[in-house]
Amino acid sequence: MPILSKRNDQNPRSSGIFSFFIQFLVVGIIFFLIGFAVGQKKVEIIGNGVVPKLTVQNTTPQNTTVDFSLMWEVLDAIPQKYIDKSAIDGNKLLYGAISGMVRSLGDPYTAFLDPKQNEAIKSELAGVYEGVGIQIGFNKDKRLVVIAPLSGTPAQRIGLRPKDLILKIGDRETFDLTLPEAVDLIRGKAGTKVKLQMQHEGEDKPFDVEVERAKITVKSVEVDYKDVDSKKVAVMKISRFGDTTDSEWDQAVREVKGANVAAIVVDMRNNPGGLLSSSIHIASEFTGGVIVKQQDSAGRVASLSSDHQGVFSKIPMDVLVNGGSASAAEIFAGAMQDHRRGEIVGEKTFGKGTVQEPLDLAGGSSLHVTVAKWLTPNGHSINGSGINPDVTIEAPDVNSEEDPQLEKALEILK
């Protein structure tokens, strides 16, 4: 195994530091990757007789006055002072250093994902993973909450609701968890169980639930048909915007087009979002022009427009939303509302309107950085405020078989 020691001269450190090679290796890698440097120290990676020596010279960036030598002092002290050398893990040190740096920004959606967490996010976008079937995020108070329980999953079956507070995952309090850490704790092998302490929005009393994890296969697009005054109305439910959503949507469009429907209801309830490109693709089916605007930190605004000529641009339509409609689902609803394309029916949406740019890093990790915020075509900021429906209809009790929101949308389309 290679040995890493931090050097000021050509004499090696003690054997204790030699055995702690990986801690300094990973620190050198992280600062090399993200452009940070610490002091004027040198890191030397020494091979095991096969790998040649590599020296990385770290220099203080010109645009910062921060002295990072404190980190070197800590890294020197840990292997020399900490009692349990076997408990020190190089990868954990690396990922913890990056995560702590990112967390200091105070933005819960800017996060570092280690390889395991990054793979979990990618599997979710692919629509197949093992867990309980909830999308999670943060409310305006930066508390961990349920964005939406996914249809047909364990989370939905036990009655979890959008905006439920997640107070504990197992024995772990959630107040200081990052989003990737929370996802990592909730996910697990199908058949195992996870205990959650929850609290419904607007209620004071927490409650505990134990949810059995399952293999979650999420179909993005489902189509149903309703008869309204002897006319056929298609109800197209979009549950997420993932890797397969565009192809599923295109297939559904062909089916609905061939069914000769008189109107369409697009059901975005409990859709936690996903890929922006898919939201634009589906919105383009109903309207042209600007779908969403993106405002960066300098106040510059860029417009993102429809990506194709849609086949439903003239057909009457409505959109169903609720508190579990977030991110890309809000972009769709906002575009339909601003273009006066159809009535938005239901409840106020979640209000997640910031843009995260994923940066792939070495070893399978990634950094998700908030780079901008979403605006509707008319310039309404989604973040924190959400989309207010044109027609407000509260959802029934979770155990009710009635759907007054859908009934109202169908009534409007008469």
241 close to 328: Cβ distance less than 8 angstroms: yes
90 close to 75: Cβ distance less than 8 angstroms: no
Distance CA 86, CA 334 (A): 54
> Which CATH number do you get for residue 170?
2.30.42.10
Q: Are residues 27 and 172 in the same domain?
A: no
The predicted model gives 84-99 an average pLDDT of 84
**Residue length, the chain?**
414
Q: Are residues 351 and 294 in the same domain?
A: yes
Q: What is the dihedral of CA 78, 80, 86, 87, to 10 degrees?
A: -20
Catalogue the active-site residues: 327, 338, 352
The predicted model gives 289-294 an average pLDDT of 97
Q: Are residues 226 and 213 in the same domain?
A: no
Q: Are residues 243 and 272 in the same domain?
A: yes
370 close to 354: Cβ distance less than 8 angstroms: yes
> Which CATH number do you get for residue 305?
3.90.226.10
Structural domain ending residue among the three candidates 198, 217, 236: 217
The distance in angstroms from the start CA to the end CA of the chain is 73
Residue 120: strand pairing partners: none
Categorize the per-residue pLDDT at 64 as very low, low, confident or very high, splitting at 50, 70 and 90: low
Q: Are residues 212 and 262 in the same domain?
A: no
Q: Are residues 87 and 236 in the same domain?
A: no
- Poorest-pLDDT segment among 10-14, 127-131, 313-317, 320-324: 10-14
**Residues in contact with 409: Cβ distance below 8 Å, sequence separation at least 6, in sequence order:** 265, 318, 319, 320, 343, 345
The pLDDT assigned to 141 comes to 86
* Higher local confidence (pLDDT), 38 or 99: 99
Q: Are residues 211 and 351 in the same domain?
A: no
The one-letter amino acid at 294: Q
The pLDDT assigned to 20 comes to 37
- Poorest-pLDDT segment among 29-38, 191-200, 288-297, 307-316: 29-38
The one-letter amino acid at 76: D
Q: Are residues 232 and 300 in the same domain?
A: yes
Write the pLDDT tens digit of every residue in 175-231: 989 888 999 899 999 999 999 999 998 899 999 999 999 998 878 999 999 999 999
Q: Are residues 10 and 145 in the same domain?
A: no
Q: With 80 as the cut, is the pLDDT of residue 140 above it?
A: yes
Residue 305: strand pairing partners: 290
Q: With 90 as the cut, is the pLDDT of residue 74 above it?
A: no
Q: Are residues 250 and 350 in the same domain?
A: yes
Q: Are residues 71 and 138 in the same domain?
A: no
In 133-253, DSSP assigns E strands to 134-138, 144-149, 165-169, 172-173, 193-199, 207-212, 214-217, 221-228, 231-238
**Residues in contact with 265: Cβ distance below 8 Å, sequence separation at least 6, in sequence order:** 226, 233, 234, 235, 236, 317, 318, 319, 320, 406, 409, 410, 413
The predicted model gives 290-300 an average pLDDT of 94
Q: Which domain holds residue 98?
A: 3-104
Residue 372: strand pairing partners: 296, 355
Q: What is the DSSP letter of 309?
A: -
CB-CB neighbours of 104 under 10 Å: 8
The pLDDT assigned to 62 comes to 59
Write the pLDDT tens digit of every residue in 383-401: 999 999 999 999 876 656 7
Distance CA 371, CA 364 (A): 21
Is residue 120 in some structural domain? Answer: no
- Beta strand 214-217 with 128-131 is antiparallel
The pLDDT assigned to 182 comes to 92
Write the pLDDT tens digit of every residue in 402-411: 899 999 999 9
